[in-house]
Structure 1
Amino acid sequence: MLEVHQFPCLSDNYGFLLHDHDSEETVCIDTPDADEYLRQAGKKGWQITQIWNTHWHPDHAGGNETIKRVTNCSVTGPKAEADKIAGIDRMVGQGDVIRIGDRKACVIDVGGHTLGHVAYHLPGARMAFVGDSVFALGCGRMFEGTPEQFWTSLKRVKALPAETMLYCAHEYTAANAKFAVHADPDNAELAGYVEEILKHRANDQPTVPMKLERELATNPFLRADNPRVQARWGGGDAVATFAALRRAKDDFRG
């Protein structure tokens, strides 16, 4: 059995410890705060054996060196960003397979937020750790990639089984919801989703993880190939529509 222990850290990050009860292996999904990861693993009685980095940003890989020094764990990360990731032992890219115990995780290239960003999909557990590539009702800022690259990445996420639970790295959902309603105002399913989100946040409850099936119906960035969204934002071209949405979100002050 796989167990995900999720906890807040830094200002708006989520930390994730993935534990396999058969092998007793524990993976840190990214390392925004080394001390908090070590504390949370200690509380659970888990020994950290691996780190899986999604991308190089300090709020995702900044704790690598400390955690590796304390635990002697191995570090896996995107090969396209290996020169920026401290302590990396294994470099991975699209189509590679890594493991926690006997359970496999498939590496997906989701570049766009950063050029080499990867996600880790565990098909047997119906979960994927997507870093900053996709958020609930949003996606990451396009710091390094191009619209074409980012849309190709999002299509890879869209192609996962609809029941997949997506574990993204930040609690941005309330802000994303405001833009989503602006971007797709006639989406009735989105309206219901936003109502639930606001209730969760009013009670200080997380909105992560989220089911891909629901994101496919409500997340405007995953719907850049939808005719209604295209008519409002780009007109017939998913890449142009995605680019227009991303620019609008960057400037949105709603």
Structure 2
Amino acid sequence: MLEVHQFPCLSDNYGFLLHDSESGETVCIDTPDAGEYLKQAGHKGWQITQIWNTHWHPDHAGGNGAIKAATGCRITAPAGDAGKIEGVDRTVAQGDTVMIGERRAQVLDVGGHTLGHCAYYLGGAHIAFVGDSLFALGCGRMFEGTPEQFWASLKRLRALPGGTMLYCAHEYTESNLRFALHADPDNEALQAYGEDIRRMRAAGLPTVPTKLERECETNPFLRADDCDLEARWSELGGRIGDPVATFAALRAAKDEF
């Protein structure tokens, strides 16, 4: 059995510990707060054996050194970002795999937020850890990549089975909802999703993880090739028949929203 232990840390990050009960292995998915990760693992009675970094930003890899010093764990990081990440033992890229016990995770290239950003997809468990590449109703800022690269990354995630649960790294959903409704105001599935999000946040509940099939219906950044969305955004920088241009227009608008 695999168990994901999710907990808040820093101001709006989520921490994730992935535990395999058969092998006893525990993986930190990113390390925004070393002390909180070590405390949470201790409360669960788990020994941290690995870190899987999605990208180099300090709120994702800043705790590597302290956790490795405390546990002796092995650190895996994306090859494109590894030069900026402390303590890396192995680098990975698209098509590589990593293991927790006997369970295999596929490494996906989801660059765009950073050049080397990767995600970890465990098909047998129907889960993916996507870092800052994709959020509930949003995607990461395009700090280093290009629209072409980022759109290709989002299509790679969109191609996963619809039942995949996406573990994204921040609680940004209410803010993303406001922009999504601005970008795609006639989307009835989005309106229904928004009602659920408001109820969850009013009750203090996380909106993460989120199911991919719902994101495909409602997340404008996954729908940049939808004809209605392209038509709406063609007057705002997008182009009908050119989803890269529509994605770029959406991302630029979100940056200023």
Q: TM-score range by the shorter chain?
A: over 0.9
The runs of at least 4 consecutive aligned structure 1 residues that moved more than 2 Å come to none
- One-letter code aligned to 1:247: A
Match for 2:244 among 230, 236, 239? 239
Structure-2 separation of matches of 1:201 and 1:38: 27
Tell me the equivalent position of 2:194. Answer: 194
Structure-2 separation of matches of 1:212 and 1:82: 28
Q: What whole-Å deviation, never above 9, does each CA across 1:94-137 have from its counterpart, x for those lacking one?
A: 00011000000000000000000000000000000000000000
* Identical residues among aligned pairs (%): 73
Aligned length: 252
Q: How does 1:49-198 map to 2 (within 5 A)?
A: 49-198=49-198
Structure-1 separation of matches of 2:202 and 2:157: 29
Secondary structure of the corresponding residue to residue 170 of structure 1: coil
Structure-2 separation of matches of 1:232 and 1:96: 39
Structure-1 separation of matches of 2:91 and 2:247: 29
- One-letter code aligned to 1:26: T
Structure-1 separation of matches of 2:182 and 2:117: 28
Secondary structure of the corresponding residue to residue 204 of structure 1: coil
- One-letter code aligned to 2:153: S
Structure-1 separation of matches of 2:144 and 2:116: 9
Alpha-carbon deviation of 1:201?
A: 0.6
Alpha-carbon deviation of 1:82?
A: 1.1
For structure 1, which runs of at least 5 residues remain unmatched after alignment? none
Alpha-carbon deviation of 1:81?
A: 1.1
User: Structure 2-normalised TM-score?
Assistant: 0.98
Answering whether residue 18 of structure 2 is matched by residue 13 of structure 1, we say no
Secondary structure of the corresponding residue to residue 48 of structure 1: strand
Tell me the equivalent position of 1:249. Answer: 254
For structure 2, which runs of at least 5 residues remain unmatched after alignment? none
Alignment RMSD (CA, Å): 0.4
Structure-2 separation of matches of 1:224 and 1:178: 17
Alpha-carbon deviation of 1:236?
A: 2.0
Alpha-carbon deviation of 1:63?
A: 0.1
Structure-2 separation of matches of 1:151 and 1:144: 13
User: Structure 1-normalised TM-score?
Assistant: 0.99
